[in-house]
Amino acid sequence: MSNNSTPLLEMKGVEKHFGGVRAIDRFDLRIMPRDIYGLIGPNGAGKTTIFNTITGIYQADEGQILFEGKDITKIKPHEAAALGIARTFQNIRLFENLSVKMNVIIACNMHNRYSVAEAILRLPRYRKVTKAIEERAIGFLESVGLADKADDIAGSLPYGHQRKLEIARAMATDPKLLLLDEPAAGMNEEESLELVDFLKKLHHDNPITILMIEHHMDVVSRLCEQCTVLDFGRTLAQGTVEEVKQNESVVAAYLGGEL
């Protein structure tokens, strides 16, 4: 399988309806390995719905989703994670009452195999794996700069740290594709620039592909080469960020808005 020709993620004519509303309408997407791809559009354009169909929270009504050439249209959420699709959420979803470290450990556990008997009797393999996982979790926390907060309760972290923790948790599942849902939401200029650097480093250090939903155009233009603009579930434009900015229908839809 040559990585150059097979897209990591491909969506063909995907549709999702809620009652009479078409949340996404004949949506196509091709993301090559190692891309950083942007998904842009006003609220309610169907961006998060696309994430939800990729990760199996929703089942697409029409069309096909391929991951590394494999059909994942009817996948379940935990199976998507096991295949290497990790995500963050628009409204942060941490395990709030658990410690910061535990949040990451739980994600690390995905590749952790010891049996119930080994756990109950605390056999050597359990001890070994548990220790290794703990170290691994601390490693992920270090990479996002939260190692010193490892024992804090996740819900007590400030907002920016919670976003970072969610990314660390997603990375701990060892993903090939990382879906980020508005990582810069609620951040000011300075913070979002910091985020750009952080994501660039993350992408550089790890063999991952990133698909991100973002409103901040400066974040998108600094990170993404390719992007898709959505409006009311329809694709308005697809191409490089520069191309898209010039596109008439995009300009019309935003009419001097964020672009």
Q: Which is nearer to other proteins, 149 or 245 (CB)?
A: 149
Q: Which is nearer to other proteins, 29 or 107 (CB)?
A: 107
Q: Which is nearer to other proteins, 116 or 255 (CB)?
A: 116
Which residues neighbour 167 within 8 Å (Cβ) at sequence distance 6 or greater?
A: 88, 144, 178, 180, 183, 202
Least gap, CB of 172 to other proteins (angstroms): 8
Strands 177-181 and 209-213: parallel
- Cβ–Cβ under 8 Å, residues 37 and 10: no
Least gap, CB of 223 to other proteins (angstroms): 22
**Short-list 252, 247, 230, 248, CA closest to 22:** 230
**Binding footprint of other proteins on the chain (CB under 8 A):** 18, 52, 55, 57-58, 76-78, 80-82, 86-87, 89, 93-99, 101-102, 105-107, 109-110, 112, 114, 116, 119-122, 126, 130, 151-153, 156, 169-170, 172-173
Least gap, CB of 80 to other proteins (angstroms): 8
* Burial class, 91, CB count within 10 angstroms (exposed 0-12 / middle 13-18 / buried 19+): exposed
Least gap, CB of 161 to other proteins (angstroms): 15
- Strands in 226-231's sheet, in edge-to-edge order, are 85-87, 177-181, 209-213, 36-40, 226-231, 234-240
Q: Which residues pair with 66 in a beta bridge?
A: 10, 71
Least gap, CB of 233 to other proteins (angstroms): 15
* Rounded-to-integer distance, Cα 244 and Cα 249, Å: 9
Helix axes 189-205, 159-172, angle to 10 degrees: 10
Q: Which is nearer to other proteins, 14 or 107 (CB)?
A: 107
Q: Which is nearer to other proteins, 34 or 93 (CB)?
A: 93
The CA R_g of the chain, rounded to the nearest whole Å, is: 19
Which two tokens mark 90?
């628009």
Q: Which is nearer to other proteins, 84 or 239 (CB)?
A: 84
Least gap, CB of 68 to other proteins (angstroms): 17
